[in-house]
Amino acid sequence: NAGVTQTPKFRVLKTGQSMTLLCAQDMNHEYMYWYRQDPGMGLRLIHYSVGEGTTAKGEVPDGYNVSRLKKQNFLLGLESAAPSQTSVYFCASGRGRWTEAFFGQGTRLTVV
Amino acid sequence: KNEVEQSPQNLTAQEGEFITINCSYSVGISALHWLQQHPGGGIVSLFMLSSGKKKHGRLIATINIQEKHSSLHITASHPRDSAVYICAVAAPNAGGTSYGKLTFGQGTILTVHP
């Protein structure tokens, strides 16, 4: 049982490049979330999904897009990376709204 | 003022000491989470509680809903407990929706020396 797996774990992008972060969970969870973690800011919600085929904006959605074509996968896309998107990105999943949250190992992204 | 405040921000202890980390929040919540993050590592859920007290090994979490306060205690601390401990609250109808949004505290950096 792998839990929540994020790929890649590290990435360096040049300004303007695009990339997709993959989050995969094998727990059959309905709810999935993408957060970013910045020093002194705590974790902030980017986008979330409450089920296959559904996505919605969180607190800081600008510059990101997401897709949930399959229940087990939640993709986070950066169409045109900017240095302000340098951060550590965490994916999380949960069975329901008020249940235990399971987090991935994080993706450290640097945009130069 | 942040919705979730943790104290202290930094905590240094000697191995074997009893440790307390506090979390205060300003909104009505459905649940409170305590999370652990090791340096460069992922985030692990330690507890989720909505009332009372929970215990797992040397870790104890308590919550007082009326006072909007929770504490995480570590008994007989060990260097491997060194990590960032994060409090997060799940508030119903946050932002007009109910999707299990978590609001996180800034984290408490714990260092336990041998």
Kindly report, residue by residue over A29-72, the tens digit of the pLDDT.
999 999 999 988 889 999 999 999 999 998 899 999 999 999 99
pLDDT at B40: 78
SS3 A53: coil
Which residues of chain A lie closer than 8 angstroms to B9, CB-CB?
none
Task: Between A95 and B47, name the one with better pLDDT.
Answer: B47
- The CA distance from A52 to A38, in Å, is 28
Q: Does B44 touch chain A (CB under 8 A)?
A: yes
Among B1, B75, B61, smallest CA distance to B31 is for B61
Q: Is 70 exceeded by the pLDDT of residue B50?
A: yes
**Mean pLDDT confidence for B95-103:** 65
Tell me the residue length of chain A. Answer: 112
pLDDT at B1: 57
- The CA distance from B108 to B85, in Å, is 5
Taking only the tens place, the pLDDT of each residue in B67-98 is 999 999 999 999 999 999 999 998 765 555 55
- The share of chain A scoring above pLDDT 90, in percent, equals 85
Q: pLDDT band at residue A1, thresholds of 50, 70 and 90? A: low
> B32 pairs with which residues across the strands?
B49, B89
Q: Are the beta carbons of B101 and A103 separated by less than 8 Å?
A: no
| Nearest residue, CB atoms, B100 vs list A43, A44, A98 | A98
Residue A109 near residue A89 (C-beta atoms within 8 A):
yes
User: Which tokens in the block code for residue B47?
Assistant: 């507890």
Q: Does A15 touch chain B (CB under 8 A)?
A: no
Alpha helix (H) residue ranges in chain A: none
Q: Does A56 touch chain B (CB under 8 A)?
A: yes
Tell which of A23, A41, A45 to mutate to test the B interface (max B CBs under 10 Å): A45
The residue behind tokens 């929770």 is B70
